[in-house]
Amino acid sequence: MLRHQVRYNRINHIFISHLHGDHYLGLMGLIFTFHLQGRTDDLYISGPSGLDEIISLQLKHSDSVLNYQIHFQRIVEDGQLLFENEDIQVTSMEMNHRIPCFGFVFAEKQRRHKIIREKLPETLSREQMLQLKDGLDVVDSNGKLWANSELATPPLVPRKYIYAADTRVLSKQCKVVENCNLLYHEATFTNEMQARAEATFHSTASEAAMFAERHHVKKLILGHFSSRYQDVSLVLEEASTNFSNTVLAIEGQVYEVPNGTENHEPLAS
């Protein structure tokens, strides 16, 4: 976060997938750094059962009282609502790993049609304006019919980003993944390590790519590469033969969530 200048005070919610060390051991450091930096805003953490105990224990045995409040939400099931504001909703997605593990679905909410203020006639009531926002045509007080497209613009199709955490590739069809705009999926191994992937409940690059293809995902980001791969271009190559719009997760890089209308070409990044 320091290296990439992510501002601490912009972080209000943290989602932890599971309790393997490479996925959460930095959390306590972050919690104490927030404290030392004088944070007073509440912090919301969602994670699997046990994480609350780990945090409390570390605070207890270091006799620490934070300047801010932590609200912990235990993730216990698939499809659990973890966060919601007027723009997005975050829900859990159950993974298939060695210990309880959840991915996260970040879904934009459906917005309403937007009224073009300059074109709005004075002959419309408040109720008719609401109808315009719902995408309906309206008849004004003079009996004139206005097509919705004359007075309003339709909203963009809501986008969906899915962070699939550590997992054996899910064999069942997952409705929530269908048509998602951006999918992050682990690709710990390549094909020749198939047996190891199965034994450790991880996925290969091909499996992740075929999963994306099967669910008509628009773009795939692969990550969580085994340290045995000094050159991860092999991982990308293997995935790309099964799903062309694949990129690698590079630390510090920013990835746009593509719109539904966008074609399948990779974003230059």
Please answer whether residues 50 and 130 qualify as being in contact, where contact means their C-beta atoms are separated by less than 8 angstroms: no
- Strand-pair category, 81-84 with 88-94: antiparallel
Q: Is 134 a catalytic residue?
A: no
How far apart are alpha carbons 34 and 39 in whole angstroms? 5
Under the rule (CB under 5 A), what is the footprint of Zn ion? 20, 166
Residue with tokens 């339709």, as numbered in its chain: 154
Q: Where does residue 255 rank: exposed (0-12), middle (13-18), buried (19+ CB within 10 A)?
A: middle
Phi, psi (rounded to 5 degrees) for 8: -55, -40
C-beta of 159 vs 202, nearer to Zn ion: 202
C-beta of 198 vs 213, nearer to Zn ion: 198
Least distance (Å) from Zn ion to the CB of residue 255?
Answer: 22
Least distance (Å) from Zn ion to the CB of residue 161?
Answer: 20
- Strand-pair category, 182-186 with 219-223: parallel
Least distance (Å) from Zn ion to the CB of residue 20?
Answer: 3
Residue with tokens 């934070």, as numbered in its chain: 66
C-beta of 100 vs 121, nearer to Zn ion: 100
Active-site entry in 22, 52, 137, 166? 22
Least distance (Å) from Zn ion to the CB of residue 168?
Answer: 11
User: What is the token pair recorded at 141?
Assistant: 């007080």
Phi, psi (rounded to 5 degrees) for 211: -60, -45
How many Å is the Cα radius of gyration of the chain? 23
Least distance (Å) from Zn ion to the CB of residue 16?
Answer: 11
C-beta of 20 vs 35, nearer to Zn ion: 20
Residues 6+ apart with CB under 8 A from 5: none
C-beta of 166 vs 207, nearer to Zn ion: 166
Q: What residues act catalytically?
A: 22
